[in-house]
Amino acid sequence: MTGTSARNHYGIFKTKKALNLAIKYSLELNNTRAYIHTGKYITYTDVKFITDNLWINHFMENLPKPIETTMEEYEKIYNHIKLNYNNFI
């Protein structure tokens, strides 16, 4: 079987990984309209796009961090954003 089975236990999310990331960042868990997506379910990539943008706003506008992190996690996130979105920071 490919894709998401008929017994999706993750609500609007396609995978547990996507659901857990949305929970970690306190994102909308019940309304698909809160996400930019094309399919029936919200993918990890859809959620990651939103979380990356929250961090870009933090780094560019000096806004509060979206979530509390350790210094190691913070550096990892910063390097990820810098590598993938170099034009923004």
pLDDT digits (tens, 9 = 90+) for 14-49: 999 999 999 999 999 999 999 988 889 999 999 999
**Predicted local distance difference test score (pLDDT) of residue 12:** 95
Q: How many Cβ atoms are within 10 Å of 16's Cβ, its own excluded?
A: 11
**Predicted local distance difference test score (pLDDT) of residue 86:** 84
Asked if 17 and 44 touch (Cβ cutoff 8 Å), the reply is yes
pLDDT above 90: residue 13:
yes
Q: Note the pTM of the prediction, 2 decimals.
A: 0.84
pLDDT digits (tens, 9 = 90+) for 54-87: 999 999 999 999 999 999 999 999 999 999 998 7
